[in-house]
Amino acid sequence: MDERDNEKLDIIIEKMDLLIQILTSKSQIPEDVTGKTQIDILELCNMENSPSEMMQKLNLSKKSVEMALSRLRKNNIIKSIKTKNKTVYLRLK
């Protein structure tokens, strides 16, 4: 196995760990999520919505969405995932 194979394996392991976290976590909103904006943003962290899509769906400013995403990331409630076309978010808790 070469270094590229090891890197791919590490990525697969990381994704599997995330999947296990999702499957074993409670589906309720975590206690450390407060405020309507953060709760609304959290509900859209389903690996489908980019920040601009969240802005449109929730009728929020770019700054409001970015602040909510930043707080959720700092509290390890979501994780950003970069795809070919956009950055989406995955709910961890």
CATH of the structural domain 27-91, one choice from 1.10.760.10, 3.90.1170.10, 1.10.10.10, 3.40.50.80: 1.10.10.10
Question: Which residues have CB under 8 Å from 30's CB, separation 6+?
Answer: 75, 77, 93
How confident is the prediction along the chain (93 residues), in pLDDT tens digits per residue? 788 888 888 888 888 877 777 666 655 555 545 688 888 999 999 888 999 999 999 998 888 898 899 989 988 899 998 888 899 998 887
The count of other CB atoms within 10 Å of the CB of residue 51 is 20
What predicted TM-score, i.e. pTM, was given to this entire model?
Answer: 0.64
